Chain A
Amino acid sequence: MGKLKRILLVDDSPRDLELAIDALEAHHLANEIVTLRDGVEALDYLYCRGPFAGRNDGPPAVVLLDLKMPRLDGLEVLKQIKSDPFLKAIPIVIMTSSREEQDLVQSYENGVNAYVVKPVEFHQFVDAVRQLGTFWAVLNETPGSKQV
């Protein structure tokens, strides 16, 4: 395994992005973190189209996806990824402020790999991110990664 795969972080809130990156960096994760601001950008990235046309660095190790986003929300992105035979192997983690049960149920119905409610307390948040990052990005090898 050569270069570490990227972690895709999709959130419309720049503060959440900053907090997340801080949390990830605090644990010295070596993976490159790509931040995207909404669902459309996320799909463009995954399909290597639009601004990401010609990208050839393969699929990310994991996608951390916020639910509530402009244009295309996280649930839509999740449905699209999990219904695409080439993308569905990518682990998707929903990270959201919502404690609503319906969000959780729908996410699992659509094949989410993990669902994390962002805690208010920062160190809890940092703990959660760190665990996710290490689990998905470092330890896990997706079936897709072997093809690249």
Chain B
Amino acid sequence: MSGWLRNWLTWWPVAAGFICIMTGICVLMGWAMDAERLKRILPSLVSMNPLSAVCFVLVGAFFVLRSFQDASSHKQPFGWGMRACATLVFISGAAVMVNYLLKGNWGLDQVLFSNKLIPDNPLRPNRMAPNTALNFVMLGGAFLFMQLKSPRGFRFGEVVAVVVVFNSFFALLGYAYKVQFFYSMGSFIPMALHTAFLFFISGVAVLLMRKDQGIMAIVRSDSTGGLLLRGLFPAMVVALSLIGWLRLEGERLGFYGAEVGVTLYTIANISLLGLLILWSARFLYHADIARARVEAERERFFDLSLDLLCVADMTGYFRRVNPAFTTTLGFTAAEILEQPIVQLIHPDDRETTLEAIKKLGTGDFLFQFENRYRRKDGQWRLISWKAQPYLEEGLIYASGRDITEMRIGEEALRKAHGELESRVQERTADLAATEAKFRALVEQSLVGIYIIQEGRFVYVNPKMTEIFGYSTEELLAQPANDLIIEEDRALVEGNIQKRLSGEVPHMRYSLRGRHRNGALLHIEVFGSRSNFNGGQAILGSLLDITVQKEAEEALRRLNDELENRVKERTHALESANQELESFSYSVSHDLRAPLRHVHGYVQMLGNETKGQLSAKGERYLKTIGQASVEMGQLIDDLISFSRMGRTELRMTSVDMADLIKKSIAALELESKDRNIQWSLGALPAIRGDEAMLRQVLANLLGNAIKYTRKRNPAIIEIGCNGEEQGQLVFFIKDNGAGFDMVYAEKLFGVFQRMHRAEEFEGTGIGLAIVRRIIKRHGGKVWARAAVNEGATFYFTLSAAPMSLV
């Protein structure tokens, strides 16, 4: 229904009220001032009775007062006024009616302006028409009925109002068709035109007063019925009235007789009604199709639904169930419908279910109600319900959901949750114990342990306070960098970044810190990237190595000093060596020259004085010569001895057997006229300076040859006695003069001799050289001997490395 129409209908009663009041007052004023127009509209028409005018004022007042009714609560602040108006109107109409019925002439309708009533109409005095009185009775009655709360009273009022409307329409139509009968209603006093009009609008107003109920509810509704009523009814009224009027006018003007008029009238009516019926049939046809489609759609959803949908009645039976219902419970629809609902329900749930149905019976809505239904196979299904009762139909619409599995799942979940909870508690307790253990370890640690986050300590152990001299609070309050000396801060920051960026997982390095008292601390840290309280952190430990560092430093200084001293000493030694070198060079060169000169000039003197000197003189010259030669030998040996101590060793692998053979060969001059039996054992290779060892062998073998001079044969045995303290022991044994072991210690001293020069010549340096060379090879030399029983000389040397053999 369109908005303008709705507004118009809403305001109709108030507008009708005002029109009634205005018209009533106008009519009364017309009576008072003899204004004919106000009383009767046209001179040929009857005027409105003053009592009628008063009644219309009251009717209008009723409508206006009613408009103050509160729309939402239906409270009527002027209910008493309305009731008074309605009662007065009813009584006035009733009084006039009774007067007519009893054929009396009480003149209630003639009280006002009584003097003017009789002359008003030359035919009859002005009175309230009987049908007018009836209308007032009905209108007043309708007002009173409408005020009653019950639907029956309302319906009755509505019917009465319809009668009023028809009655007045009758009069109006009579005026239109100029048929006095209609508006005089079997009486000689006709209903005034404006009276009829006011009754019409008032009657409609009564119908519109309660717009949400009764006929008006249908008229105003968007239903097909409403649409038809709104469209067809006015059209029919207007069209039929018009057709009737045309027929009458045609007859009056003599176009056709009554028979033709009726025929025409009938045909026109049939056509019109036929058209209207056709139109409404078409309209209903389409409306039905549309509704059928909507219903089919709803049915499909009903069938498709996974939830259990049902309609039940108040007597405890299902009326209708959907397929989900039957599949869930395993019964057929018929089986479900034929047994009382309670029989399907778990005995323990029956009481609560009955209570719930009772609650629904009072019109209450039901939600999340749960009960168990029996499946055909005896299993129980838990259903959660939502239900809405429709009392006027006596039906309950319900939607249920099978929550059995969900509930089982929930139970399992709850159980699992409970188990998890207890396990978490156990684990928490374990963790707490572990935490306590590790905390104790950390707190009692001999190294500083810390956690750094965003440049600050977030944890330090007691050792940290000991190392740096600050309290825990002070350490946590200052940037960690403040503890580090400025030169090392960049290093530390860089190292922290390296770990936070993931370049390396952990690092160990040294840095220098500052104790609270200003002392420099040497610290070694080991830190790894970690997480702490949801952020990146460095977790590390540190060791105060100041004492070690200082000791190390002292040691290094000491080492440096020592190094320097060694260098100085070496330098001194080198220069001493240098001096010694040039000394021995000078000795070798400068001492021998004069000796040579002595010898040379002695010889030349001998040549010059050949035959002139006495035998004694000859001997002197010879002795001088010999002495100078001996001196030369001494100098050579001394120089050789001193060189042995200074010359660098050139270590190689030396084949001893080969070397000995060569040495024996080199002594050929000394041994050529001798009977010597050489005996060579197995001789392994050794590691040493070949030139020097050749000197050793030359001296030892030379000695052996020299001291066996008086033996025939001389026996010289050379061999290797195996190992002693990781070194090879060589020996050279002879059967010569030997010596007394008492002097064995003196044997290797410089210029130490065992024999007189006349007996065995020599300078006493040879064995000293031997000892010096063997010592320089890391070996030792010794001798075993007895006087006249030969001597054995032993010396040790390192074996040659296997690869060099």
- Indicate if the CB atoms of B593 and A97 lie closer than 8 Å: yes
Q: Is the interface of A mostly helix, strand, loop or mixed?
A: loop
Tell me the bound Cα distance from A125 to B595 in angstroms.
13
- Cβ–Cβ < 8 Å partners of B625 in chain A: 121-122
Q: Check: B632 CB closer than 8 A to any chain A CB.
A: yes
- Chain A: interface size category: 10 to 19
Q: Which among A15, A121, A125 has the highest number of chain B CB atoms within 10 Å?
A: A121
Q: Is the interface of B mostly helix, strand, loop or mixed?
A: helix
- Indicate if the CB atoms of A19 and B593 lie closer than 8 Å: no
Which among B588, B603, B636 is the interface contact of A122 at CB below 8 angstroms?
B603
Given contacts A15-B601, A22-B604, A99-B639, contact A119 B588 (CB under 8 A): no
Interface flags for B627-653 (1: CB within 8 Å of A; 0: not) read 011011000100100000000000000
- Indicate if the CB atoms of A120 and B588 lie closer than 8 Å: no
Q: Check: B589 CB closer than 8 A to any chain A CB.
A: yes
- Indicate if the CB atoms of A125 and B596 lie closer than 8 Å: yes
- Indicate if the CB atoms of B597 and A97 lie closer than 8 Å: no
- Indicate if the CB atoms of B597 and A16 lie closer than 8 Å: yes
- Cβ–Cβ < 8 Å partners of B590 in chain A: 97
Tell me the bound Cα distance from A99 to B595 in angstroms.
15
- Cβ–Cβ < 8 Å partners of A15 in chain B: 597, 600-601
In the complex, how many angstroms separate the beta carbon of A124 from the nearest chain B beta carbon?
Answer: 9
Q: Check: B599 CB closer than 8 A to any chain A CB.
A: yes
- Indicate if the CB atoms of A122 and B599 lie closer than 8 Å: yes
Nearest residue (CB) in B for A102 is B585
In the complex, how many angstroms separate the beta carbon of A15 from the nearest chain B beta carbon?
Answer: 5
Which residues 83-129 in A have Cβ within 8 Å of B in the complex? 96-100, 118-123, 125
- Cβ–Cβ < 8 Å partners of B210 in chain A: none
- Indicate if the CB atoms of A98 and B603 lie closer than 8 Å: no
- Indicate if the CB atoms of A97 and B600 lie closer than 8 Å: no
Which among B585, B601, B604, B632 is the interface contact of A120 at CB below 8 angstroms?
B632
Given contacts A15-B601, A68-B589, contact A119 B639 (CB under 8 A): no
- Chain B: interface size category: 20 to 34
Tell me the bound Cα distance from A99 to B640 in angstroms.
10
Which residues 274-314 in B have Cβ within 8 Å of A in the complex? none
Given contacts A22-B604, A120-B628, A120-B632, contact A97 B599 (CB under 8 A): no
Tell me the bound Cα distance from A17 to B730 in angstroms.
49
Which among A19, A96, A99, A100 is the interface contact of B600 at CB below 8 angstroms?
A19
- Indicate if the CB atoms of B596 and A98 lie closer than 8 Å: no
Nearest residue (CB) in B for A20 is B600
- Cβ–Cβ < 8 Å partners of B600 in chain A: 15, 19, 122, 125
- Cβ–Cβ < 8 Å partners of A131 in chain B: none
- Indicate if the CB atoms of B585 and A98 lie closer than 8 Å: yes
Tell me the bound Cα distance from A97 to B585 in angstroms.
10
9 closest A-B pairs by beta carbon, nearest first, are A120-B632, A122-B603, A122-B600, A19-B600, A15-B597, A97-B592, A97-B589, A97-B593, A120-B596
With A97-B588, A121-B599 known, 6 other A-B pairs at CB within 8 A are: A19-B600, A67-B589, A99-B636, A120-B592, A120-B631, A122-B600
- Chosen A-B contacts, 17 in total, with CB atoms closer than 8 Å, are A13-B593, A15-B600, A16-B596, A19-B597, A19-B604, A22-B604, A68-B589, A97-B588, A97-B590, A98-B589, A100-B589, A118-B593, A120-B592, A120-B631, A121-B629, A122-B602, A122-B604
